[in-house]
Amino acid sequence: MSEISNEDIAHLAKLSRLTLSDEEKEKFAKQLPEILEFVDRLSVVAKLPSVSQPQTVPLAKLRVDEESSEKLSLADLQKLAPAWHDSQLVVPAVFGEVADE
Amino acid sequence: MSEDLNIFLHKDLKPIEGGEGVLSGLKIAIKDNILVRDWPATAGSKILEGFIAPYDATVIRRLKESGATLVGKTNLDEFAMGSSTENSAFGPTKNPWDIKRVPGGSSGGSAAAVAADLCDASLGSDTGGSIRQPAAFCGVTGLKPTYGSVSRYGLIALASSLDVIGPMARDAETVEKVFSVISGADNNDQTTFEYTYRPVETDLSKLKVGLPKELWELSIDPEIKIAVRSFVDWLADKGAKIVDVSLPSVVYALPAYYVILPAEASANLSRYDGIRYRQSVVKDGQKLLERYMDTRSLFGAEVKRRILIGTFALSVGHYDAYYQTAVNVKAKITADHERVFQEIDLLLTPTTPTLPFEFGAKSDPVEMYQSDLMTVAANLAGVPGLSLPCGFSQSNLPIGAQLIAASSGENLLLSVAKQYQMETDWHTRKPN
């Protein structure tokens, strides 16, 4: 069974953009190797011919005519998001100081 | 009854009354991962609390245009990840046949709503068995349609290459009525194809039914084997030819599924960012990335587990060993199904390896994943499957049989089910 340390889980959580509690890190460090051992059964079929990535839609079909349909109003959209200011979505600062919200 | 069983979420919703049409008078419950305009849609997650759907899913538009009455939104495992509804952030649904037991999942609320007589039909979604397994656990009929025959527009995405919406009802005739309305191509979902449902009257004496040995050889509850065997015998009595068939790749279906699903889910769930949806964990001095990560702590344990697995399977160094291999297995499973359906008309298996289990009985994730053993191959192959009641255990728990057909063979599945239900009464039984 693959060993996964709490540090590995912390790294994976960072890649996954998840904030985990210490308790969760411990729990997942125990469970993930069990799940990976289960899916590792696939290793015996690793020699199957490799197929291209799933392309469920023929590319030609992706070209559809653009046409207007029922529009979502600004009021509809404002109901969805947590914070708005002057008809714009409020987003925290990406760099530096946090802007006033 | 529904209050005690926790079948419906958003209990204060007023039904949307139907008008004239082929579904006039039919009361339909909707799984809470399908958008109904101006109704909440949580997908069973805290992260979507307060979200009000701004548009109708295509299936909902079609139901409304056909005169159906929409009665409410049903409970599910969070983002349809689970086999018991125990992963719902709003508490589990109880099985109407035994309230100590799970109704199956993830469409457990939709199956229980039909079993408890709270609606005539319901919509669920099926990514690895999420319509058929709860249908079996609740003693109702459930159809997982061919991938692409029903639009996913307005379905909250789990694994987009596998997800499909389908109907559940007490009998196959009602399932057929609803399916004929919701199916068909949709410009808003590029994975749909031209599809018109045409009922058929199948001559059972000309039918060739295959029993896939790899699935029948698995550890199956003896009472389930006996009940499903009685359905096989009924088909044989009608003159159907019963043959053993082999689908060697299906033994790898479950591990392949538990790579492909988390990989797609980890991408699909990246949209819940604390910016575009109402739920947002705001802290002093928080930066954009921190807002994103803090908000995503609202996900439940199973969702986090699958996001971690999906990220792992897609990461550099693991991609070929996991994701590419799983995609290769999916192609092999599809090819095996195409081959076998050149020789036979239907596959027949139990829908589930176990009877409905008690709450908390499967705390180990891998053990819970085994609930999908019988159903998941049909999702990977993209073919339709149907679960119908075929008996009861001595403890009065329902048992389901699964029929699988080649792509677009829903009419064959429903024809066989309708004929069986004309002569049996398993589907008419109701819990006390």
Provide the 3-class DSSP secondary structure of residue B307. helix
Question: What's the start-to-end Cα distance of chain B, in Å?
Answer: 11
Q: Do A72 and B55 touch (CB under 8 A)?
A: yes
Q: Do B287 and A46 touch (CB under 8 A)?
A: no
pLDDT value of residue A2: 62
Written as six digits, the tokens of B390 are 């075929």
State pTM to two decimals.
0.95
H-helix or E-strand containing A32?
helix A22-39
Q: Do A56 and B148 touch (CB under 8 A)?
A: yes
Q: Do A32 and B322 touch (CB under 8 A)?
A: no
* B288 contact A CB<8A: yes
Summarised one tens digit per residue, pLDDT across range A35-81 is 999 998 888 876 666 666 555 556 556 666 677 766 778 888 888 88
Alpha helices in B116-171 (DSSP H): 132-138
Q: Which positions 55-74 of A are in contact with B (Cβ < 8 Å)?
A: 56-57, 61-62, 64, 70, 72
pLDDT value of residue A1: 46
pLDDT value of residue B51: 94
pLDDT value of residue B432: 86
pLDDT value of residue A55: 58
Report chain A's C-alpha Rg in angstroms: 23
pLDDT value of residue B317: 87
Written as six digits, the tokens of B306 are 């699958």
Please list the residues that pair with B31 across neighbouring strands.
B74
Written as six digits, the tokens of B424 are 């049996």
What's B13's DSSP letter?
P
Contacts of B278 in chain A (CB under 8 A): 80-82
H-helix or E-strand containing B210?
strand B208-212
pLDDT value of residue A99: 47
Strand-pair category, B241-245 with B208-212: parallel
Q: Do A12 and B274 touch (CB under 8 A)?
A: no
Sorted by sequence, the CB contacts under 8 Å of residue B233 that are 6+ apart come out as none
Of B52, B309, B311, Cβ closest to residue A35:
B309
CB-CB contact of B119 with B140 (8 Å): no
Summarised one tens digit per residue, pLDDT across range B328-348 is 999 999 999 999 999 999 999
Summarised one tens digit per residue, pLDDT across range B47-100 is 999 999 999 999 999 999 999 999 999 999 999 999 999 999 999 999 999 999
Q: Do B288 and A53 touch (CB under 8 A)?
A: no
* Nearest Cα residue in chain A from B161: A56
- Rounded mean pLDDT, A27-39: 92
Rounded Cα distance, B126 and B178, in Å: 16
CB-CB contact of B76 with B106 (8 Å): yes
* A31 contact B CB<8A: yes
**How many contacts (CB atoms, under 8 Å) link A and B?**
154
pLDDT value of residue B35: 98
What's B320's DSSP letter?
I
Please list the residues that pair with B29 across neighbouring strands.
B72, B122
* Other C-beta atoms lying within 10 Å of the C-beta of residue B294: 17
Q: Which residue has the tokens 């925290």?
A: A92
pLDDT averaged over every residue in chain A: 79
Asked if residue A20 has pLDDT above 70, the reply is yes
Q: Do B275 and A89 touch (CB under 8 A)?
A: yes
pLDDT confidence bin for A94, thresholds 50/70/90: confident
Q: Give the residue, A8 or B18, on which the prediction is more confident.
A: B18
Q: CA angle B274-B84-B140, nearest 5°?
A: 120
Sorted by sequence, the CB contacts under 8 Å of residue A73 that are 6+ apart come out as none
- Taking 50 as the pLDDT cut, the residues of chain B under it are 1
Rounded Cα distance, B158 and A69, in Å: 26
pLDDT confidence bin for A100, thresholds 50/70/90: very low
Summarised one tens digit per residue, pLDDT across range B178-227 is 999 999 999 899 899 999 999 999 999 999 999 999 999 999 999 999 99
* Other C-beta atoms lying within 10 Å of the C-beta of residue B187: 13
Rounded Cα distance, A3 and A13, in Å: 16
Contacts of A15 in chain B (CB under 8 A): 311, 315
* Nearest Cα residue in chain B from A97: B285
Which of A35, A38, A61, A63 to probe the B interface (max B CBs under 10 A)? A35
Give the closest residue to B149 by CA, choosing from B383, B332, B309: B383
DSSP character string of B232-268: HHHHHHTTPEEEEE--GGGGGHHHHHHHHHHHHHHHH
